[in-house]
């Protein structure tokens, strides 16, 4: 018989519990969730990247609406439970919904601690716990005014970094002498403060807040010493408290939190509690790893395993601020019964400290170089006697046993039970075993099946190394490999950081992202140039020297060193005048071969490089612009004759193709983009193997995308049906802009679609009209700076920056 399971709260812990429960006991429970927040489950530990702009809300969702529907789970969003009736076994929400239960799980999380000083309830004072807090901070950050963060712990520093990235003038007030004093020793706290201040954030330690001042809204913070620090926003990040009120009101035993046994059971045998609201063994937890352990135990008990028990283990502390690497674990306080090993490298900004007792690691503090954190953690958990490696221990695993190991060999040497992902408690053997058992080949697959690297992401590098070790040459980490040897960053990280840090030139970007070479290389510079053109179309001056030779000279180089030129013919349509102009150019320059292309254009092959400027000059006088048959951009829109001429045509496919091409030409894309419009389902224009295709039908226009007909042969995916030409154009433009913003350089649209997911693309482009319109408007805005007269250089307004869109290069210069 199906039991009724009600869950109060929809955070990360109950979400993980449900994953375990659905796997262990599918169909046993009819599940109902009440969530006080008006949204689905998301990754709270990734709120800091959302605040800084490095991620969007959609990227941190753990379980979307479809997941709940798939598993038959009823989710009440924006419903706060106000009463638990243990006698009747019901819960009631503030919207008046009453739901009966057989088993109840309380997962109400925590509430932020607000220091009891005058003015703490004033407008402009915020806490930092959930997405609503982040949205409020983002709104306040638009003023680019002064912000104060009270609290120099993990949350406070992440909030400060996020607000500073959004343009605010930020000051951190911390009552203790050094930052993160609970997780770091004074030396590491000092280094951390220097790194934070180097980012432009002011730090005031020993700063005791006396009052928040202002008339109706925040104007500043008064300190105990009498100093007033001005601000228009104050963020409280001084700690959290278990949210146990609902349990206390119901007569369930509480202390600091809701008291539970090792099986997560409360004083009521039908009620469990887990997460930040629970107190187990006299302790409450705020880090995600122990919360996930609670989730595992609770799920096991709900599935009938009474033996499952929560076991305490120390969890490493890591700061989620890009560019600051720190790792802290265990007991690092001073004491007569312990000794320490310390390594300082001032030039490199590295500090390492190991605390030993009886020749065993009991505490670790790493700053600047955290690569050996997993190994030190493993030594601590196993209480390994380190006597034999005492002299080299501080240098890390690679230096044990004689000659140094390379990083891959060091990972290979880790024991199978060594913890790789601290957030989710995933060991090396679990990762490698799952890769082999399930035939996993991508990082996303490993995350989905093991949860390793699925939370804060700091263990991603280790997981990738394990994939390489397990899969050998068959592992192709294209999604996570560095762009080139000039950097350790992948394409996605570079794109994210360009936006997050507001980087608008290649030299600035290379400096901020610590490029290893002075000027980059032929692999990374074209990619960086594209990303900057796409992200800052109105500010970045396209560096055509970072283009490939074909793009610079608007011609394709051939095997004998000559070039081919393809003038643009809108929708594949031409006329006698254009044909005569092409014939004249062929005769004048003695071009040896003229060929019709598969994209309905005319290609002139065998042109000498020195003749290219004159060839384009003559073609330009006849009204031709570049066909971009060589560009990472829109190349052709192939069409059939459609309803104007064909007996079977249902719509004006030629007219629509010309309209699309004229609207979109001149826009750079991550890789070449080919389109087609067929006037009926007979598909004479071959729209179902193009990057974007349209099939005209009686009821409108069927939009296709993600096809391929080259090295890979792939039919298109159907995006959906639209009613008229205007809507078809908007959908195609929005789809292209989404691809432009998310695609990796040289990644074709079908590969991007496979990575992002067809369902997600359909959701954003077809199902979300607001998001589609936003993509469309950003494309239109970018076109103001790209689609111009191809034979004249454009000078923008007051800045006088010279823009050289791909159709406007001076050819005499480009041919040099």
Binding residues: 640, 646, 680, 684
Query: HEC states along 673-738?
Result: EEEEEECCCCCCCCHHHCCEEEEEECCEEEEEECCEECCCEECCEEEEEECCHHHHHHHHHHHHHH
DSSP state of 668: B
Find residue 303's DSSP bridge partners: none
What whole-number distance in Å separates Cα of residue 666 and Cα of residue 784?
10
What whole-number distance in Å separates Cα of residue 316 and Cα of residue 423?
9
What's the CA angle centered on 283, arms 278 and 286, to 5 degrees?
Answer: 65
**Helices and strands: H and E segment counts in the chain:** 25, 41
Say if CB 503 and CB 497 are below 8 A apart: yes
Percent of residues in the chain assigned helix, strand, coil, to nearest 5? 35, 20, 40
Closest CA to 771 of 781, 779, 783, 763: 763
What whole-number distance in Å separates Cα of residue 14 and Cα of residue 772?
33
Say if CB 108 and CB 96 are below 8 A apart: no
The enclosing H or E element of 234 equals strand 233-236
DSSP state of 539: T
What whole-number distance in Å separates Cα of residue 256 and Cα of residue 283?
8
Rounded to the nearest 10 degrees, the angle between the axes of helix 288-302 and helix 12-24 is: 40
DSSP string over 123-186: BTEEE-SSHHHHHHHHHHHTT--EEEEE--SHHHHHHHHHHHHTT-EEEEE-SSSSTTTTTS-H
Which region, left, alpha or beta, applies to residue 204 given φ > 0 means left and ψ of -120 to 50 means alpha? beta
What whole-number distance in Å separates Cα of residue 676 and Cα of residue 704?
10
Binding site as annotated, residues for siroheme:
684
What whole-number distance in Å separates Cα of residue 716 and Cα of residue 517?
40
CA dihedral (657, 658, 664, 668) positive or negative = positive
> And the tokens for 398?
């690679």
> And the tokens for 123?
């407008």
227-232: long-range contacts (C-beta < 8 A, 24 or more apart)? Answer: 229/148, 229/171, 229/173, 229/204, 230/146, 231/124, 231/145, 231/146, 231/147, 231/148, 231/171, 232/124, 232/140, 232/143, 232/145, 232/146, 232/147
Binding site as annotated, residues for [4Fe-4S] cluster:
640, 646, 680, 684
What's the CA angle centered on 364, arms 361 and 367, to 5 degrees?
Answer: 155
| Alpha helix ranges (H) inside 182-244 | 186-198
* Beta-sheet pairing, 673-678 with 692-697: parallel
Backbone angles phi, psi at 513, to 5 degrees: -100, 10
Closest CA to 262 of 241, 285, 282: 282
What whole-number distance in Å separates Cα of residue 374 and Cα of residue 370?
9
The residue behind tokens 């031409």 is: 574
How many CB atoms are located within 10 Å of the residue 809 CB? 22
Q: Rounded to the nearest 10 degrees, how much is the dihedral formed by the CA atoms of 62, 26, 35, 320?
A: -30
Residue 47: CA atoms inside 13 Å, Cβ hemisphere, count? 25
The enclosing H or E element of 90 equals strand 90-93
- SS3 state at 659: helix
């Amino acid at each position: 018989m199906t039991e009724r399971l009600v869950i109060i709260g929809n955070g990360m812990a109950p979400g993980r519990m449900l994953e375990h429960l659905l796997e262990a006991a599918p169909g046993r429970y009819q599940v109902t969730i009440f969530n006080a927040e008006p949204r689905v489950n998301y990754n709270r530990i990734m709120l800091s990247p959302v605040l800084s702009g490095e991620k969007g809300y959609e990227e941190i969702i753990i379980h979307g609406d479809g997941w709940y529907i798939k598993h038959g789970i009823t989710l009440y969003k924006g419903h706060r439970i106000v009463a638990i009736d243990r006698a009747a076994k019901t819960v009631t929400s503030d919207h008046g919904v009453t739901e009966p239960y057989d088993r109840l799980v309380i997962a109400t999380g925590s509430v932020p601690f607000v220091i009891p000083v005058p003015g703490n309830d004033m407008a402009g004072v915020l806490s930092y716990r959930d997405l609503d807090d982040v949205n409020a901070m983002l709104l306040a950050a638009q003023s680019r005014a002064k912000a104060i963060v009270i609290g120099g712990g993990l949350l406070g520093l992440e909030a400060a970094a996020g607000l500073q990235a959004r343009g605010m003038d930020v000051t951190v007030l911390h009552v203790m002498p050094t930052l993160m004093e609970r997780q770091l020793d004074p030396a590491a706290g000092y280094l951390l403060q220097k790194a934070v201040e180097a980012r432009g954030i002011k730090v005031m330690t020993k700063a005791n807040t006396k009052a928040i001042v202002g008339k109706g809204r925040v104007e500043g913070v008064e300190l105990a010493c009498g100093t007033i620090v001005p601000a228009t926003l104050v963020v409280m990040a001084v700690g959290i408290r278990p949210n146990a009120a609902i349990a206390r009101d119901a007569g369930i035993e509480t202390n600091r939190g809701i008291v539970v046994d090792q099986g997560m059971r409360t004083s009521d045998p039908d009620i469990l509690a887990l997460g930040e609201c629970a107190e187990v063994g006299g302790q409450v937890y705020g880090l995600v790893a122990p919360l996930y352990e609670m989730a595992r135990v609770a799920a096991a008990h709900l599935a009938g395993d009474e033996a499952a028990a929560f076991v305490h283990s120390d969890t490493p502390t890591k700061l989620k601020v890009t560019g600051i690497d720190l790792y802290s674990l265990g007991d690092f306080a001073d004491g007569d019964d312990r000794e320490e090993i310390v390594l300082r490298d001032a030039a490199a900004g590295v500090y390492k400290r190991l605390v030993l007792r009886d020749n065993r690691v009991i505490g670790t503090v790493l700053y600047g170089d955290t690569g050996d954190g997993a190994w030190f953690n493993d030594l601590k958990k196993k209480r390994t006697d380190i006597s034999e490696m005492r002299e080299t221990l501080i240098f890390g695993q690679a230096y044990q046993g004689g000659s140094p190991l390379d990083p891959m060999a060091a990972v290979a040497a880790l024991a199978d039970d060594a913890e790789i992902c601290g957030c989710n408690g995933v060991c090396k053997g679990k990762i490698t075993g799952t890769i082999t058992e399930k035939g996993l080949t991508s990082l996303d697959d490993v995350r989905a099946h093991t949860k390793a690297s699925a939370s804060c992401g700091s263990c991603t590098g280790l997981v990738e190394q394990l994939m390489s070790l397990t899969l050998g040459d068959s592992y192709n980490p294209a999604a996570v490999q560095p762009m080139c040897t000039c950097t350790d960053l992948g394409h996605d990280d570079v794109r994210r950081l360009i936006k997050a840090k507001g980087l608008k030139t290649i030299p600035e970007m290379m400096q901020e992202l610590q490029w290893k070479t002075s000027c980059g290389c032929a692999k990374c510079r074209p990619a960086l140039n594209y990303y900057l053109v796409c992200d800052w179309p109105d500010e970045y001056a396209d560096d055509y020297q970072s283009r490939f030779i074909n793009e610079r000279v608007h011609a394709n180089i051939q095997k004998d060193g000559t070039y081919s030129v393809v003038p643009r013919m809108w929708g594949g349509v031409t006329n006698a005048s254009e044909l005569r102009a092409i014939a004249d150019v062929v005769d004048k320059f003695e071009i040896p071969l003229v060929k019709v292309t598969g994209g309905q254009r005319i290609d002139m092959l065998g042109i000498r490089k020195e003749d290219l400027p004159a060839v384009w000059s003559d073609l330009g006088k006849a009204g031709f612009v570049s066909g971009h048959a060589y560009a990472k951009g829109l190349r052709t829109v192939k069409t059939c004759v459609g309803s104007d001429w064909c007996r079977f045509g249902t719509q004006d496919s030629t007219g629509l193709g010309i309209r699309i091409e004229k609207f979109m030409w001149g826009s750079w894309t991550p890789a070449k983009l080919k389109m087609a419009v067929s006037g009926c389902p007979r598909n004479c224009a071959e729209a179902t193997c193009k990057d974007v295709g349209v099939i005209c039908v009686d009821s409108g226009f069927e939009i296709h995308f993600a096809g391929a007909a080259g090295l890979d042969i792939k039919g298109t995916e159907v995006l959906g049906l639209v009613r008229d030409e205007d809507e078809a154009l908007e959908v195609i433009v929005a789809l292209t802009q989404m691809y432009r913003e998310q695609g990796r350089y040289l990644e074709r649209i079908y590969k991007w679609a496979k990575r992002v997911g067809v369902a997600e693309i359909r959701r954003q482009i077809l199902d979300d009209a607001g998001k589609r319109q936003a993509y469309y408007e950003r494309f239109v805005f970018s076109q103001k700076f790209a689609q111009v007269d191809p034979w004249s250089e454009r000078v923008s307004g007051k800045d006088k920056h010279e823009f050289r869109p791909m159709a406007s290069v001076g050819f005499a210069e480009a041919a040099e």
